[in-house]
Amino acid sequence: MNRAPRPDLLIAYLAAAAVAAHILEAAIPAPGPWFKIGLANMFTLVAFFHLGWSAAALVSLMRVMAGSLLLGTFLSPTFFLSLSGAIGAVLVMGLVPLLPFRVGPVGVSILASLTHMVCQVVVAWWLIIGHDGIFLALPWFLIGSWFTGLLNGLLAYLILTRLAAHQSMNLQW
């Protein structure tokens, strides 16, 4: 294809890809709800750098909704954790233009990933766990989030550069 797809179609593709990635990841056994890589986020990042913040917000929220409906966790505690993390991450992405320096997918991804984890843990503490012990584990979870953020950022970068190569569009961030 030589022409860029319409923005709303691209959002739909990215959201679909994100949901697919989310479900694929859910099939992998993990020691706990905190130990996920969150590959679906790379598509949110692509949307952010390619189409802007509102597109990223849409992709992220659609992924949370559709993903939970398909996995059968809609309105469950997991769903609220997911949602709170996603909302936090999206809000933080909105602050990116305010930064005094330019950031690319890696930086935004790490930032969003850390915020996502903090929001999840706070909501989990508030709604589910109800005792302070969870905060003992938080530093270690955050270190994990830092690395998964890095990974997702790199993957998003790779996708974005290939998108640019194929669509011969001006990609600037």
Q: Which residues bind another protein (CB under 8 A)?
A: 92, 95, 97-107, 110-111, 114-115, 118, 121-122, 125-126, 129-133, 135-136, 138-140, 142-143, 146, 150, 153-154, 157-158
CB closer to another protein out of 19 and 37: 37
Min dist CB 106 to another protein, Å, is 5
Considering the complex, state which of residue 61 and residue 150 has its C-beta at the smaller distance from another protein. 150
Strand (E) or helix (H) holding 57: helix 53-71
Shortest CB 146 distance to another protein, Å: 6
Provide the minimum distance between the beta carbon of 121 and another protein in the complex, in angstroms, as a whole number. Answer: 7
What is residue 51's three-state secondary structure? helix
Nearest Cα to Cα of residue 14 among 36, 34, 44: 44
Interatomic CA distance for residues 31 and 48, integer angstroms: 30
Rounded to whole angstroms, how far apart are CA atoms 87 and 89?
Answer: 5
